Chain A
Amino acid sequence: MKIRFTLILTALMLILANGMFAQGNGIKGRVVSREGRVPVKGAKVILMADHEMTAVTAENGEFSISDIKPGTYNLSVTADDFLPARLNVRVEDYMKDLNLITLVADIAVRTRDASAIADFDTESANDAQAIPVVLSSSRDVYENIAGYKFGDIRFRNRGYESESSSVYLNGVYFNDALTGYSPWSLWTGLNEATRNQENSTGLEISDYGVNGFNGSTNINARASQLRKGYRFSVVNSNRQYRYRLMGTYASGEKDNGWSYALSVSTRLGGNDWINGIYYNAYAWFASVEKRITDQHRLAFTLFGTPTERGVQGASTQEVYDMVGSNYYNPNWGYQDGKMRNARVRNNHEPVAILNYYFTPNDKVNLTAAISYRFGKNGYSALDWYDAPDPRPDYYRNLPSYYSDDPYKASYIREGWLSDWNIRQISWDKIYDVNRLSEGGRSQYVIEERHTDQKDLNAKLQASINLSEVSRLNVGAEMRYNKTDYYKSIKDLLGGEHWIDIDKFAERDFASGDAIQNDLNHPDRVVREGDRYGYSYLAHVRNYKGWFTYRFTKNGFEGYLAGEAGNTNFWREGLYRKGLFPDNSYGESEKLSFFTYSAKGGAAYSIGGMHRIYANAAYMESAPFFQESFVSPRTRNSVVEGLTTEKIMSADINYSLRFQGLRMRLTGFYTTIKDQTNLISFYDDISRSFSNFSMTGIDQRNAGLELGISVPLATGLSAEGAFSLGNYVYTSNPYVTQTVDNSNEIILENERVYWKEFKVPSTPQTAINVGLNYRSPSSIYAGVDLSYYDGMYLDMNPVYRTDFAQAGLTELESEVMRRQERFDPAFVLNANIGKSWYIKNYNIGFSFEVKNILNNKNIKTGGYEQMRLKRNEDSNGELLSYSRFDSKYFYMLGTNYYLNIYFRF
């Protein structure tokens, strides 16, 4: 190990020494702008040695100065339109690479500068995983491409949130009861078991319900629905996990009417791009089904996906530039020679479903289903009390905090570049502090935040063929959900215990009732596994009845559908919080919302080739539990003005099938009004969780969607998916800010001026074109190119309020309000595979490489920080606010996925 290090170091020094510029020693670097990292040409670099030594940067921003006597000197960098930068540099006896030197623009900053589905840690307290839609393997020509190709950019189909798409499992509606999110994490790793899917697009209804406005997927994961036989696969990859092993067996329906299926898989390892991410995930699935008679059928399915995985965090561009990588992950540190990640997801949420089918005659079909989801879902994080902030990229640990002291700024940089314990979490220091702490009281712990659900669904459905040309489905559904929200001590990190008090309140109140998290058990001593901090239950009840009626007449197909129901929910606090003694323990007010939807559509087919169809819908849906309480961890207070969302949506479509050519063109228009949202994040200035509750969010999503597949020659076809959207906010909503450690209301119903701003976090233009080849000998090959544009950064509502604009000039105000747009991006992918059929055996492989161009500068998301920087005068009086740097996630560079499978 040491020898290897010395060799690497020697090699490095040799390489540096043989670099283009230096015969002897010196310094070199690259000057770029802070925004967008654009190289600065013609910048003057002056080193104050015993005489002034100057260099001017080239077109690519690079410069070098050689033959300098070793020592510490001042370096200044000046360029037109930029603020000068000063650094202290230590010149050694080799050509030292200073890497990037960033200059801040002197003029107003321009916004336009030039994971499979990864889960991003966004410092928020909303720990649910919102995985973008379009994951399904659909037969629709557009979704088939978009669903797979656009995943890396975290594309949201038509700009909609995850809750707009309905996901069913064995006919039971499975979107999360508290957030509406697609529940893919429940069966991640069970790809074979969940392969049989039925999809609908946009506003279309399905056989399982009226659905929402962004398509639906029903997964048939019953024993009889899995492909008969054995299927094994082994995967090696370098993007999310390193290895995946999967084995599945399905018996198919036997003569005696029984069928059963089993599947197990594991995903293990890290990746080549981001440190600290790892998978330690397993999945198991079992289903048994019996055709009792030709009329009765019963199926029971049970599965679970126990998963442990480390999560990536975002950081600012300043940090990425400083370490020279857009993949820096602040969530981990070295312990025991290994990378230990503070943010680890740990869940095991099994699902059990019982399905019953009754077909008395060929006109009527009755189904009943009961499902139960239970288990534990935890997400860990560092918690600390009376101790320094352990996060390595805490803003005071960055050079920008010392922007007026270049000496200290360069010491910060040196620290980051020379010491892993400064650059990442220092677990050593954390254990040290805990071990020194009086009485063994930990000052740092790992907490695990839990959302443990018990979710029961029951559904009855009847499908009736009223005539040859009309079919009626009616259904009734009920959902009971009780979720346990709490946090527990996962690791005392070298200490002996923790005391359950509100450390943030203690800072303000020193002692007394106000600092207690639970007045019913004050000053409780807690240890590993104990619950502490907050504890409350969510109770959710949904009831609904629906019908869909399809008919065909005179070449027209049409349908009508309607749904009506009621959603009730309330919070039940299990701790009496000292700050809110009368409003935290016990049940909150019980909220009740009447919800309904109405849909209609018509289609006209011409020959077998052309089809023109249109749909329209109007819906009112209830807000979700997770966004309905102002500060759900601490009190029962309900968001003021809570109301249903109103959605109006319409689309018109044309599809074409002609001699192998397939095409679908869609135009859609949707307005969504009165949305509610709750953003909770850790604010290190008030040192507590701060909550932004927003109401009255309106938006309009309109656009065109085109999917096309054209055969070119035998085996060769061209495909494309085009999504051109315009998704904007159409109202100025309200925001109320509260802080968990205080009964103060920081902002009350402040207007957020973001009308006409773009809906963020998805590319509004997404295009993919590709060529696919399939040979008669079962060789598959393909290459495709994606283009993305119109991606905007997730916004902090407070930047757009009058409160944050106070004291700003016109120009400064514009900078504060401006929405950041990411640069457009091209991504090139390719894949190849071959399948062999030997007697009954099928063996094959598929190999895919993504981002062949190795573009490491494609932002896929991120967020504006939720804090405001106070600019004060010398007396400490507030002059104005300014923004903190935003945080970003980047698309991985070149990565591969190799799958070898064996089936018989």
Chain B
Amino acid sequence: MKRIYNTPTYNFNQTKRVLGAGEPVARVSASNGSASNGSASNGSMARGLVAGIINMAIISALLLLPASCARTFDEPEAFVPANFQPTHTIAQLKAMRAGGPTEVLDDITISGKVVSSDAEGNFYRSFFIQDETGGIEIKIGKTNLQSYYKEGQTIYVKARHLMLGSYGGMVSIGERSLEPRYENGFIDTDLRIKETIIRGTAGPKVAPYEITSQSQITDSRLGTLVTLKNAKLTRRNMATWAQKASGNIEAVYGEHTFQIGTRNVLVRTSGYAKFASEPAPSLNSYADVTGILTKYNTTYQLVLNSLDGVVLK
């Protein structure tokens, strides 16, 4: 059914700042010189009225239309992935952090594939990307990231005016922080995210790097997806992966130490993970453990995406 009422047509890809005050709607019938307030002013009302009367004469003929004429909308166009040429590698960007919080001043673009997921709740408000040189945490600030930034998807970060910061030896990229104890904070706002984090082509999940000996556990692998092969659980602080919050009791991180050779890697799990209450392997058992390699000061850590990353031997 042909719609006969006035609706504005607007190109939603328009990003220029053309919206001023008021609820401007580009009127199809009356075009005001000033875009500042498209709502009824007496001039446009008179024009709208005359147009209305003329339209009414035409519409009178349409009196006997069928009763069901629901509005239909075409589906939006398919997502067009971005395609940029990165100017720096992730390792180069991380190296730019100079002793303290460092604002990126140049037009730097990095690219990497998403290797973490917050679907199971173990990651919160940030995600990791990695390229051939390493991985970095992007403190984006939003939740439900798995719905939009898929594992294996290429993400570009336009880092200009973002802040590089280090926490416990791990360099991440985010915004300026207002809290003195963190070198950088979350990006948070939609417009800023639109400017800095751009989605590229989706792809298969990244294959984790297999670690069979402790010499492979190095700082250059921080932020990347790794599998500890045949690691031995030598210590744990609880029988489940973590402890959920309940009532007045707060959530507690589960800490399970796995050993490769003589090197300890602490698998740290949040109490807000959906699998927190699942039983952890028993002491001295062996498993292949897959997750993101991180570090806190001198301790290497691993953060699981899900329990699929734990394969008992």
B6 A245 Cβ-Cβ under 8 A: no
Q: A99-B20, A238-B45, A269-B6 in contact; A408/B74 too (CB < 8 A)? A: no
Given A419-B191, A419-B194, verify A8-B78 contact (CB < 8 Å): no
Within 8 Å of chain A (Cβ to Cβ): is B239? no
Q: Which of A308, A348, A895 contacts B71 (CB 8 A)?
A: A308
Q: Which residues of the partner chain B approach A4 to less than 8 Å between Cβ atoms?
A: 26, 31
**B275 contacts A337, CB within 8 Å?**
no
Tell me the complex Cα distance, A414–B20, Å. 11
Q: Which of A408, A427, A431 contacts B189 (CB 8 A)?
A: A408
Is the CB–CB distance between A266 and B22 below 8 Å? no
Interface residues of A in 4-53 (CB under 8 A from B): 4-5, 8-9, 11-12, 15
Are the C-beta atoms of A280 and B76 separated by less than 8 Å? no
Chain B residues within 8 Å of A408, by CB: 175, 188-189, 192
**Interfacial residues of chain A within 563-617, with CB under 8 A of chain B in the complex:** none
Q: Please, how many angstroms separate the alpha-carbon atoms of A411 and B196 in the complex? A: 13
Q: How far is the CB of A388 from chain B (nearest CB, A)?
A: 5
Contacts of B74 in A (CB 8 A): 335-336
Question: Contact at B147–A422, with CB atoms within 8 Å?
Answer: no
A238 with B40, Cβ < 8 A, contacts A243-B4, A270-B5 known: yes
Q: Looking at the complex, which of A323-331, A364-372, A720-728, A802-810 is the stretch in contact with chain B?
A: A323-331
| Residues of chain B in range 102-154 having any CB-CB distance to chain A below 8 Å | 119, 142-144, 146-148, 150
Residues of A within 8 A of B23 (CB): 273-275, 323-325, 327-328
Q: How close is A448's CB to chain B, nearest CB, in angstroms?
A: 12
In terms of DSSP, what is the predominant structure of the interface of chain B?
loop
| A339 interfacial contact with B, CB 8 Å | yes
Alpha-carbon distance between A386 and B117 when the two chains are bound, in angstroms = 12
Contacts of B42 in A (CB 8 A): 894
B9 close to chain A: CB less than 8 A: yes
A811 part of interface (Cβ distance < 8 Å): no
Given A236-B49, A411-B192, A334 contacting B40 (CB threshold 8 A) = no
The distance from the CB of B139 to the nearest CB of chain A, in whole angstroms, is: 13
CB–CB B144/A422 < 8 A: no
Given A420-B14, A437-B147, A325 contacting B73 (CB threshold 8 A): no
Interface string of A217-260 (1 = CB under 8 A from B): 00000000000000000101010001101010000000000000
B63 contacts the other chain (CB 8 A): yes
Query: Bound complex: CA of A562 vs CA of B39, how far in Å?
Result: 54
The reply to whether A11 and B33 contact each other, CB–CB distance below 8 Å, is yes
Q: Is the CB of B147 within 8 A of A387?
A: yes
Shortest beta-carbon distance, A853 to chain B, in Å?
12
Residues of A within 8 Å of B16, CB to CB, are 418
Q: List residues of chain A with CB within 8 A of the CB of B20.
A: 12, 97, 99, 324, 417
Residues of B26-53 at the interface with A, using a CB-CB cut-off of 8 Å, are 26, 31-37, 39-40, 42, 44-45, 48-49, 52-53
Q: Are B191 and A421 in contact (CB under 8 A)?
A: no
A851 to chain B, nearest CB (A): 10
Q: Is the CB of B39 within 8 A of A325?
A: yes
Cβ-defined contact, B34 with A11, below 8 A: yes
The 0/1 profile, CB within 8 Å of B marked 1, for residues 842-859 of chain A is 000000000000100000
Report A431-444 CB contacts with B as 1/0, cut-off 8 Å: 11101110000010
A284 CA / B64 CA spacing, docked (Å) = 11
State how many angstroms separate the Cβ of A297 from the closest Cβ of chain B.
31
- Is B297's CB within 8 Å of the partner chain A? no
Asked if residues B148 and A245 are in contact (CB atoms below 8 Å), the reply is no
A671 to B47, CA, bound (A): 51
In the complex, chain B residues whose CB is within 8 Å of the CB of A411: 189, 191-192
B40 near A337: Cβ-Cβ < 8 Å: no
Contact assessment for A388 and B144 in the assembled complex, using a CB-CB cutoff below 8 Å: yes
Contact residues in A for B26 (Cβ distance below 8 Å): 4-5, 8
* A454: chain B residues within 8 A (beta carbon): none
Residue A264 at the B interface, CB < 8 A?
yes
Q: Out of A264, A404, A427, A432, which one reaches B148, CB within 8 Å? A: A432
Interface check B67, CB cutoff 8 A:
yes
Top 6 A-B pairs, shortest CB-CB distance: A269-B5, A324-B21, A415-B191, A236-B52, A325-B23, A411-B189
Further 9 A-B residue pairs, CB within 8 A, beyond A429-B148, A432-B148: A12-B35, A236-B55, A243-B5, A269-B5, A284-B67, A335-B74, A415-B194, A419-B15, A420-B10
Which residues of A come within 8 Å of B, CB atoms?
1, 4-5, 8-9, 11-12, 15, 97, 99, 234, 236, 238, 242-243, 245, 247, 264, 266, 268-270, 272-275, 278, 280, 282, 284, 306, 308, 323-325, 327-328, 334-340, 346, 348, 386-388, 397, 402, 404-405, 407-408, 411-412, 414-415, 417-423, 427-429, 431-433, 435-437, 443, 494, 510, 854, 876, 893-896, 898, 900
